[in-house]
Amino acid sequence: MSPNARELSVRVLDEVDTKGAYANLALDRILSEAEIDSRERSLATEIVYGTLRNRAYIDWVIDSLTPRGIDSIDPKLLNILRTAIYQIRFLTRIPPFAAVNEAVNLSKKRAGRNTHRFVNGLLRSYVRRIRELVPPSLEEDPALSLSITYSFPRWMVERWLAEYGLGNTVKLCEYFNSSPQLTVRVNRLRATRQEVADRLAARGIDVSLASHTEVGLVLKGASAVTHIPEFIEGLFTVQDVSSMLVAPVVNPRAGSLVVDACGAPGGKTTHLAELMDDTGTVLSLDVHEHRLRATREAASRLGLSSIKTMLHDATKELSGLEDQVDALLIDAPCSGLGVLNRRADARWRKTPDDIDQLVELQKSILDAMSKCLKPGGTLVYSTCTITREENDDVIDWFLDSHRNFRPSAIANFLPASLVSLGGLRSSNDHSIRLLPFVHGTDGFYIARLTRVS
C-alpha cells in the first residue's frame, strides 16, 4: 500500500530529528518520490509545518499525559504522536477519531503491534482532556507560558521578554507563527511594477503592491511560482520585502565594481545589478559552488550580464582586489531569528552558543572583506536576525577596531514610510533594526558605513 500524507509527514519529521535535515528540503524530496495526489501533498505539507510550529505545546501535552515523561517514549512513536495531536488540536476539518485511528495503524506498521495500545490510550486521553490541559498562566511563569502556548524555546522567549516586554513578545510570537507573505521583486530593467502586476492579475493571481518598496508585489493564490511565464521570462524574482531594502542602501553607481561577499543564491546580487543598469561588475562570492550555480542561473534568467561569481571564503582577504572595490555588501550568515515564520524548524535548531559562534564568524568576514574597499567606498552589513549581539554589537566592534571606517547616515537610502515608523537610534544613525510589530516586515538589520582615507 502506498504511503499516505500522515506517514510521509512522519518520515519528514524523523529526518529532521535524526539526521538534522532541513524540513523544506526533506519534504520536497519525500513528496517528489511518493505517488500521491495534490490533496495528500497539501495535507502532508500542512502537518509537517504545523507540527514543527507547535512542537513545544505538543511535547508539553505528551509529557503531561505520559507517566514517565516524553523521554521514555520510543523514538519511532514520537512523531506519530506529535502529528496526531497537531491534527486533533489544530486541524478542525479532520475528526479526532480519524487522526487517532491513522496514528494507531501507523504505529503498528512502524513500531510493532504492541505499541498501538499505548498510542491509542494516550491520544484518546488527550481528546477527553483537551480542555483541561492548559499551559501555566502568564502570572505564574511568563516565559514558560509563552514558550508552551506559542511553541518557542524558552531561551528565545526570555530574550524577547527582556528586550521588548510582554506585549511585543506576544506580537513577535504571533508573527513568527503566521504564514509568510509571498513577495516578489520586479526586474526594473524588463518591466514596470504595474505591468507585471497586470499580467499576473490576468492569470487569476491576487496581486497587491508591497509596502516600503517601489519594486515589490505581494501575491496570493499563486502556486508553483517558478513555473509562471513571467518568472521564466525574468520579469520578477522571489524576495522578501526586508531583503529588497538592502541593495538601495548600498546605492551602487552604474559602471562601478561591487562585491557581494556572501552573495548566493543571488537575490541581493541581482538587485544590485539591476540598480546599476547591468553595467560595471557585481562580484558574488560564496563558499559553495552549487549556490554560486544558483546565482548564475538567476542572473541568466533575469538577463543580467554584469554578474560574476567566485568561489571564495569570505573570512579570507580577497587577494588582488585590495583597495579596489567601490561598494561592499556583507549579508552575513546569522541566526535567522527575524525570519522564523519562513523556516518552521529553525527555532529548534538554534542555541545561544550558536549566536556566540556566529558573532565571531561575522567579525571575521567584516575584518577580511573590508580590506578590498577603496577609500570613499561604501560598506553595507545586513542580517535577517534581531539579536543585538549579531547586529549593533558587531558593528560597534568593527568601528572601534577599524578606525578607517565611519558611520554613514542611512535614512536617505530608505523609504520615508519605513523611517517614519522608527528603528533608527537618531535621525543621522547608520543602522536600522526592522521589527515585525513595528514595521510589518520580517526582522532585519541594515548598517551603512564609509571607508575614509
Q: Is 209 helix (H, G, I), strand (E, B) or coil?
A: strand
DSSP 340: G
Give me the helices (H) in 280-369, please: 289-301, 346-349, 352-369
Under a CB-based contact definition with an 8 Å cutoff, are residues 343 and 336 in contact?
yes
Question: What is the spatial distance between Cα 180 and Cα 220, in angstroms, rounded to a whole number?
Answer: 11
With cell 495528500, the residue in question is 40
Which is nearest to 87 in space by CA: 129, 120, 56, 44?
Answer: 44
As to burial, measured by CB atoms within 10 angstroms (0-12 exposed, 13-18 middle, 19+ buried), residue 190 is middle
Q: What residues pair up with 379 in beta bridges, in sequence order? A: 328, 449
104: left (phi over 0), alpha (psi -120 to 50) or beta: alpha
Active site residue 384: yes
Could you give the angle at which helices 5-19 and 23-33 cross, rounded to 10 degrees?
A: 140
Which is nearest to 396 in space by CA: 445, 441, 350, 334?
Answer: 445
Question: What is the spatial distance between Cα 384 and Cα 125, in angstroms, rounded to a whole number?
Answer: 41
Grid cell at residue 56: 513545544
As to burial, measured by CB atoms within 10 angstroms (0-12 exposed, 13-18 middle, 19+ buried), residue 103 is buried
Strand 444-451 vs strand 431-434: parallel, antiparallel, or unpaired?
antiparallel
User: Pick the catalytic residue: 173, 334, 372, 384?
Assistant: 384
Q: Is 276 helix (H, G, I), strand (E, B) or coil?
A: coil
Q: Tell me the one-letter amino acid at 252.
A: P
Q: Is 164 helix (H, G, I), strand (E, B) or coil?
A: helix
Q: What residues pair up with 383 in beta bridges, in sequence order? A: 445
Catalytic residues: 384
